[in-house]
Amino acid sequence: MNKHYNKTGTSLCAVLGMLLLTVVSCTKETPLPAEPTNKILSFAVETAEGYLYAAINNDDNTLTLSIPFYFDFPVLDPVIELSEGATLEGENLPVDIDEEGYRYTVIGADKSTRTYTLHIDIQISKPLWVERAYAGSTIVGNACDVVGNFNTRDPKDIRLYVIDEENNKTPLRILHENSMSIKANGDNTYRVSGYFFPQSMTVGENYRVVAEFKGQTATSETWFEATQGQPGFDNPTIEPHQTKAGAEYTAVVSLNSLIEPQRVFTRIDGQEVDLEVISWSYDKLTIRIPENMPLGINYDTFVEFESLPLKSQIVFEVIE
């Protein structure tokens, strides 16, 4: 008897056998790539309402922290969770709220590194704006009140500057922090007092005010001209500054800005005596005290200027 083979059946069996081998081969365990050990797993900042968490992007290595405008954070003090066995390069220090592009470098357990860039997004409902409270020119070194939409109770949260026509930026001065204030001015407007124009401003040049607040920057629309006012020295009313006969004495200019003094004199036994000017700048004047000045007396010393009608006064006591 002849045997007949079914070629189709034989081919089907071959295919099934190959599939079986493929299935068996696919069930073999293939090791997955190792998880990076240099990652930030969580980046959070504590608030009165709970924690704010940053969005972490491990592809471009960024941390984006969105902060509602009503949180008055001068600095961020984050809580950071890392991969097991990882450490931060350096300390986890507080970050200024206006810091742009702050970086964290994570060192993994396998000594690999990854550097994240922090982006702080202050969610303010409308753009920041600022203007001087008064129109017209200003006296160099004089008080500067500004208005803007700052939404804060602490005037030190706001950084204020002046810029000239070449965009050179100089901070406004703070003489006494306890004299600073911020008050609501209506229609989401706040008035800030207690700042003073820089004494280094140039008379006759034009300036504008710049404010930095919660990651935003605003520049006033109006320009103003710097003018010269009568300089005033720091003269304590209760206990005058003390110096010694024959010594150099430096008087600090606390009001406006000093211009070149033409004459400095005092009175000894009713007679006018000229004092030697050692040096001067826009914010201080150094003079030499005569050797023959009697001790224990508060001396009224006067500074004359060629272009100003009034004299400026310096008060000091000569001690042994």
Tens digits of residue pLDDT in 194-219:
999 999 999 999 999 999 987 789 99
Nearest-angstrom CA–CA distance, 314 and 299? 8
Number of Cβ atoms within 10 Å of the Cβ of 40: 21
Question: Tokens in use for 277?
Answer: 């000017």
Give yes or no for a contact between 40 and 82, defined as CB atoms under 8 angstroms apart.
Answer: yes
Question: Tokens in use for 302?
Answer: 């006067």
Query: Of 124, 146, 119, whose CA–CA distance to 72 is shortest?
Result: 124
Q: What is the pLDDT of residue 313?
A: 95
Query: Of 111, 108, 107, 105, whose CA–CA distance to 61 is shortest?
Result: 105
Tens digits of residue pLDDT in 60-113:
999 999 988 777 677 899 999 999 999 999 999 999 888 889 999 999 999 999
Q: What is the pLDDT of residue 219?
A: 97
Give yes or no for a contact between 211 and 160, defined as CB atoms under 8 angstroms apart.
Answer: yes
Domains of the chain: 40-123 (2.60.40.2340), 130-227 (2.60.40.10), 232-319 (2.60.40.2320)
Query: Of 68, 78, 84, whose CA–CA distance to 104 is shortest?
Result: 78
Token pair 């006033």: residue? 220
**Secondary structure (3-state) at 215:** coil
% of the chain beyond a pLDDT of 70? 89
* 39 DSSP assignment: -
pTM of the model: 0.59
Give yes or no for a contact between 194 and 181, defined as CB atoms under 8 angstroms apart.
Answer: yes
